[in-house]
Structures are given as structure tokens and as C-alpha cells.
Structure 1
């Protein structure tokens, strides 16, 4: 039953929402000024630079573990190369899901609206990003690392049944942790030039995607029915659990000559790794907490994922 207090809170919350069309118009202006064609912007023919990392060592899953301390530098750098390929593979998987979620979101929206036009612009961005990540994997000679069959099928379910607020919450989950890592990567002169170029393009263009998703999720958590808000809290928490598990593909350890079981165990026990993941997610979890997503069962699921202290 809706009370007078509920209606007052709803009215106040609606008053703080930004106009959807104005937000989209600003994002479209930014897209016109700051969009990139990776095929033309990046030097895909240049060979890797000897002695440079493919991913910042501090962001490699085994960093500062007992196993890492025993590994020779060459093996550490090889692990970084494979983890960069695994993260790029994860990014392609996620962006394909995101594109389908965006298409579903705009299916019944006014086709001439700025909001729809920006969604289509973002889909075009994500197409380029997916091709860019795949080409980077191929160029650097590492294998692609698809997610597990279970997570692949969970993604299939998500893109089929997700509610609108659930879609945008999961969008932010997939974008913001990787974005935090990439913001550390592209200015880092220890890193391969191609990796720096790829991450810089992605960071610049993803900033618009995050803004779009945040504004829409904030709106949805005010206007959606209570049952949908609660379902969003639970589905977002479960997505956080799946995402944290999928973030590093255990096959990378075998491919660089490590014992898979030992490596996975040490990553799970690593205080450094836990701090990296929670720091990477903090900007997002602060936002989700502010708009009422991190409550009840959903909050417990986030804590179990290791992304929230």
C-alpha cells in the first residue's frame, strides 16, 4: 500500500532526476567530438616492445602471493599477457550481452528521441570495442578465453529476462571495475603501446556509457514498481558473484606452466587481490548504495562476491 510519505519521497526523488533527453543530447555531442576508429587510430602492425608488460603487474591476479614471489620475471610477464587476453575476452562477452540489453531497452521507446539515438550510438561504440578487443588478443598471440559454459548460459538467461533497472545495474557492474583498471593502464609507460592505446580509447568512450547507465538506473530505481526494485537488488547481487568468479579465467595458469588448483587457491586467499577488486568496485558500490540497490539479500550477495567489504 502506497502511503502519503511514499508519494512525497517519490515526488522529491523525481525532482532530482535529470531530463532524459538533455542527458542524451549532451552525450551525443560528446560522441561526435570524442569517438575513435581503432582500425585507424592504433598501430596494429608494430611488434610488441621487449621488456614491456601486457598488463600492470599490480593488477595481475597472483601479484604479491607466495607463488608470484617464486615465479621468474619472464613467467610473470607471460601471465600478464594471458590475463590481458582473458580480460579482453571477458569484455567481448560482456559487451555482446550489453548490446542486446540496450536493444531490448529501446524496443518500445520513441524512435526519434535523443535517448534512443544515444543508445544506438553506444551500441555502435560497443561493436567497435568488441572488434578492438578481439583484434588485440589475436595480435598479441594469446588465445581467447571464453567464460565457462555455465556463465555463458547464465548470460543468455540474463539478456532474455532482465528487467530494465537490472540491465543497467549489470551494465555498470561490467563497465566500472574494468574501467578503473584501464585508467591505471593507459598512462603506464611500463605497458605495451597497443594495450595502452586500446585502454585509452575504451576509457574515453566508456565514460559516456557509464553516465548514460547511471542516469537511467537512478531513474528506474525511483519509478519502477517495488517488486522490480527488489528483483534488481537480488539479480545485481547475483551478477556481482558471477562477475567476480569470471574475472580471471583459471586456464591462464595452466597455459603459463602453473598448477591451476594452487594458483586459484592463492588468488582466493590474497589480501592484495581482494583490495584491488574492492577498490575497483568502490565508486560503483558507493553509487549503488546511494540509489538503494545495495539492500537486504542483494547486499549480502555483493559481500559474498568479494567486491564489497
Structure 2
């Protein structure tokens, strides 16, 4: 096997080494839901009156609505049990789609490809997860449908086709697994406040899905960096669309839920995803997926508007599962401060331009050169991002800083201190509108 991709399914040695390491890790530590979970233990009994089934507003947008708060305690407990079971049912259906696509893809790999062994390990894990989720649903006693009917019909077709489209297959894997991983990480952070059986199930699922996400991330990195411009543009457009579709299936219960619990249509729409709280939750749930897209270079300045339109744009975490350290209750005020600072900088640049025109006879020249310098900095920023050199929330970036300093130094002989102040204010005002600052 060579260091470059000579054959269609031959990957670089570094990737093969990581795949083999993941296979060994899977062999050393794996879970069997009927061995590692004592389903009949008293503490694992599913008590239909346990208040720990109540939904948390930080995890379920429904819990933040006035309608939910007005319901009787037992009804809220039943809704929590129903939504938990339905989320597991969606997980079953998604992992069945994944098994179809992965099995189809693995069947075409060469005999010596280490990816084949790992994918078989992953299929084994997924079948265990399916049995674990189904056992929970059966013991819970509520008949939940899972995905919406259209997704249950169209999903298997997409899964079959994805066997021919390797990159799209693993993009779909990430789009489905990353939001679930984020949600279950939040559950694990409050493990003492949820039923023990739910805690055990999410622990096992998180531990094994972390390996699956790592493989898909690394596998896509190898494939996408070898793709042409048209393919990369296609992936950049389809990734947020897939992500939003699967997030809707994972986090939004079907209409069956509203009919069973008599939930008004207006309250349902407010909870999913019309209210400010639910929109923030949607954007935050996509944080890990945004990190992956940034690392793969398919969340570009040209496609970021798709993320914003779909309501899944926002911060980019430094690592998987990084908590949002901005208090959600102060988010609106924080955004207002950003808008105030932005327009304050624009106003400062406009005032300094007026000073240049009034205080010096060469005001137009100073303004023109300052605008040209700010444009040089902005063009460098955009070109560097297109080449994949910009990390979305990187705290400091030396190349961009050096360009900034160079522009300022060249401005001094042209416009003196007024010109220097003007170009700095212009760059600062422009920086607030640059997509990765």
C-alpha cells in the first residue's frame, strides 16, 4: 500500500494505521447489552411514576414551553418516557440504514483493506445498539413510531444508493451520530438525575459511537482532500441539508406525539423550532457537526449562508462535546453587545474619515489608501480561508496579524497618524463582518 491513493479504495498508510488501532481498541473494549446490563436488576426497573423522567429544558425544547409546565406531573412524566423511547426508536431506524450502506460499501473493499475489519466491528456494535434500544422500548411499554413516515420510506433507498457514494455515506453517518452524541453527552452530565437504566444505555452508546465518529471523521478527511472542486462544492452544500434533516428526525417527535398527548398545534410549533430557546438549542446541537465540517474544509464562506438559513449555524467547539460556556439566558444580551460594538466601529471609521477630509488637504488620498489597505487584509483573509488555513474560533492567527501589521506600517508614510488610525478602524470594522472572526 503506497502513501498516495493509486487505486480507488486504497488509502494512505497513516489512515490504515489509525483504522487498525480502532479495530484493536474495539476488540479490547466492547459491550454486550445483555451481558453488561442487568435488565432485571431492581434499580433498572422502569418506574412509570419516576419523576426523573421529566424533561430537562437544556436537552428537550418541549420542556421550556408554557404548555408543558401547565401539564399534570404524571402527564409530563409520560411525555418524557415517550420522547426518550421514540428517540431510541429513531436510533434503531438510523442504525439500520447505516448497516445497509456500510455493508454495501464493505462488500466492495479489497481483501487486504483494514477498513473492512473495522466496518464489520462497527456493524456488530450497531446491531448491539439496536437490540439494546429495542429492549428498552419493549420494557417501557409505549408504542412509538420513531421517524416520520416519509423518512421511513425514503431512508432505505438513500442507504442503498450511499453504498456507491462513499463520501456521502460517511457524511450521513456523521450527520446522524454527532447530534445524538451531543444530546447524550448532556444526559451523562446529569447522570444522577436520570433513571439508572437510561444512564447505562447512554454510557455504552457514547463509548462506542465515539470510535465510529472518529473513524468517519478520519475517513472523510482522506477522501475529501483528494476530491475535485465540484465534488467538494457538492459536499459543502449537501452536508448541512443532511444534518438538518436528521436533526429534525432525532429531536422532533412525530405528530403521533401531539395527538396522543393532546398538544395544540401552536404549542408544538413553538417548541419545534419557532421559539428563541428552541432555535438556540438547534444551533447548539449542531456544534460538533460544524467542527467536523470546518476541519474537512466543507463549511466555507460561500456555503455558510445555508447553515444560517437552516438555523444550525453558530460557534465551533475546539473539541468534541465542548460545552457552551455562554449562559443561554444572556445570549440575547451578548448578541446585542456584538451588534453595538460592530456599528460602533463602523461609526468610528466614518468619523475618522471625516477628520481626514477636514484636517488634511489630502483627505481623499488617505481614505483611498486606507480602504485599499483594509481590502488587502480582507482579500488575504478570504483566500486563506478558501485554502483551508483558517480555523473558525482559533484565538490568534499569526499570518493574518502579520498582514495587518504590514498594511498599517505601509500606511504611516502615506497618511501619518490619521491614516494609521483610519486603516486600523477600517480593518476592525470589517473584521466584525468576516465569517471566521
Map 1:59-208 to 2 at 5 A: 59-162=59-162, 163-187=165-189, 188-208=191-211
Partner of residue 52, structure 2: 53
TM-score (norm 2): 0.62
Corresponding residue SS for 2:223: helix
How much does 1:271 deviate?
Answer: 2.2
Question: Closer, same or farther in 2 for the Cα pair 1:295/1:201, shift >3 Å?
Answer: same
Tell me, yes or no, if structure 1 residue 24 matches structure 2 residue 9.
Answer: no
How much does 1:260 deviate?
Answer: 4.3
Superposed structure 1 runs of 4+ greater than 4 Å apart: none
Corresponding residue SS for 2:225: helix
How much does 1:183 deviate?
Answer: 1.6
Partner of residue 290, structure 1: 295
How much does 1:19 deviate?
Answer: 1.3
Separation in 2, partners of 1:299, 1:154: 27
Question: Closer, same or farther in 2 for the Cα pair 1:252/1:94, shift >3 Å?
Answer: same
- Number of residue-to-residue matches in the alignment: 294
Question: Closer, same or farther in 2 for the Cα pair 1:299/1:101, shift >3 Å?
Answer: farther
How much does 1:25 deviate?
Answer: 1.4
How much does 1:298 deviate?
Answer: 5.2
> Quick check: 296-305 or 92-101, which moved more?
296-305
Question: Closer, same or farther in 2 for the Cα pair 1:137/1:299, shift >3 Å?
Answer: farther
> Quick check: 69-78 or 215-224, which moved more?
69-78
- Tell me: higher relative CO, structure 1 or 2? Use CA pairs within 8 A at least 6 residues apart: 1
Separation in 1, partners of 2:89, 2:54: 14
> Quick check: 135-144 or 267-276, which moved more?
267-276
Asked whether the equivalents of residues 186 and 200 of structure 1 are also in contact (C-alpha less than 8 Å), the reply is yes
How much does 1:56 deviate?
Answer: 4.9
Separation in 2, partners of 1:98, 1:296: 30
Asked whether the equivalents of residues 176 and 247 of structure 2 are also in contact (C-alpha less than 8 Å), the reply is no
- Whichever of the two has the greater Rg, that structure is 2
Partner of residue 213, structure 1: 216
Partner of residue 332, structure 2: none
Partner of residue 13, structure 1: none
Asked whether the equivalents of residues 167 and 224 of structure 2 are also in contact (C-alpha less than 8 Å), the reply is yes
Asked whether the equivalents of residues 165 and 229 of structure 1 are also in contact (C-alpha less than 8 Å), the reply is no
Question: Closer, same or farther in 2 for the Cα pair 1:237/1:119, shift >3 Å?
Answer: same
Asked whether the equivalents of residues 61 and 281 of structure 2 are also in contact (C-alpha less than 8 Å), the reply is no
Separation in 2, partners of 1:67, 1:52: 18
Question: Closer, same or farther in 2 for the Cα pair 1:67/1:37, shift >3 Å?
Answer: same
* CA offsets 1:260-305 (integer angstroms, 9 cap, x no match): 4532334322222222232222122122023222247754443333
Question: Closer, same or farther in 2 for the Cα pair 1:149/1:141, shift >3 Å?
Answer: same
TM-score (norm 1): 0.86
Kindly report the root-mean-square deviation, in angstroms, between the aligned alpha carbons of the 2 structures. Answer: 2.3
Corresponding residue SS for 1:180: helix
Question: Closer, same or farther in 2 for the Cα pair 1:142/1:292, shift >3 Å?
Answer: same
Asked whether the equivalents of residues 168 and 217 of structure 1 are also in contact (C-alpha less than 8 Å), the reply is yes
* CA offsets 1:64-121 (integer angstroms, 9 cap, x no match): 2221232233222221111111111111111111112212332322223322100110
Structure 1 stretches lacking a partner, 5+ long: 1-16
Asked whether the equivalents of residues 95 and 126 of structure 1 are also in contact (C-alpha less than 8 Å), the reply is yes
